């Protein structure tokens, strides 16, 4: 039990570290999705300056990595890789979907835009919310598998 707790704490810290080092990558990716999904109808203006994303971003990455680690603790390598790939694919699909939806909503809501091009400040996008939501939703399959595994173990324990 103590081993699982220590592994969990370490996984949470590693998840936060991954979030910290991948922050600028995801910011640039979301900006690219905003432009791509609107056929370049979004133009970013101002200075692209940021200090850190909100705490939701770091926390969700930590929790996501924690849950993914705990789910795969006693799995075979093939199953572990399958679970990780599925989580990453779900994360990517949701990230693209949320970003594209928000970007198109921003273009649609702009009634005074020149030629349909929306000027958007770099920090008008809530990057932390987009990435955090994507991270939380991507671990739902892992949570479901953990819950099913626990229910099976408790049923077998009773018998």
pLDDT tens, 106-122?
Answer: 998 887 777 878 888 88
1 class by beta-carbon count within 10 Å (0-12 exposed, 13-18 middle, 19+ buried):
exposed
For the stretch 101-104, contacts whose Cβ atoms lie closer than 8 Å and that sit 24 or more positions apart, written own/partner, are 102/34, 102/130, 103/33, 103/34, 103/35, 103/37, 103/38, 103/42, 104/37, 104/38
What is the structure's pLDDT at 14? Answer: 95
- Helix, strand, coil tally for the chain in percent (to 5): 75, 5, 20
33 Cβ contact partners less than 8 Å away, ≥ 6 residues apart: 95, 96, 99, 100, 103
The domain spans of the chain are 1-157
Contact criterion met (CB below 8 Å) for 155 and 82: no
pLDDT in tens, 63-114: 999 999 998 988 899 999 999 999 999 999 999 999 999 999 999 888 777 7
Which three-class secondary structure state does DSSP give residue 45? Answer: strand
pLDDT in tens, 27-44: 999 999 999 999 989 999
Q: Are 17 and 122 in contact (CB under 8 A)?
A: no
With the CA atoms of 77, 64, 49 and 105 taken in that order, what torsion angle do they form, in degrees rounded to the nearest 10?
A: 110
Alpha carbon distance 91, 135 (integer Å): 6
Can you tell me the mean pLDDT for 47-66? Answer: 82
């Amino acid at each position: 039990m103590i081993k699982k707790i220590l592994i969990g704490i370490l996984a949470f810290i590693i998840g936060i570290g991954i979030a910290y080092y991948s922050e600028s990558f995801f910011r640039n990716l979301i900006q690219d999705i905003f432009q791509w999904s609107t056929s370049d109808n979004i133009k970013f203006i101002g200075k692209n300056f940021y200090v850190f994303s909100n705490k939701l971003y770091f926390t969700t990455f930590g929790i996501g990595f924690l849950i993914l680690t705990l789910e795969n603790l006693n799995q075979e390598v093939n199953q572990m890789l399958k679970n990780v790939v599925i989580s990453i694919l779900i994360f990517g699909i949701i990230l693209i979907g949320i970003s594209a939806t928000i970007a198109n909503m921003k273009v649609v809501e702009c009634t005074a835009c020149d030629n349909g091009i929306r000027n958007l400040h770099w920090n008008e996008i809530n990057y932390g919310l987009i990435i955090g939501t994507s991270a939380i939703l991507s671990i739902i399959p892992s949570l479901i598998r953990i819950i099913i595994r626990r229910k099976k173990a408790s049923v077998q324990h009773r018998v």
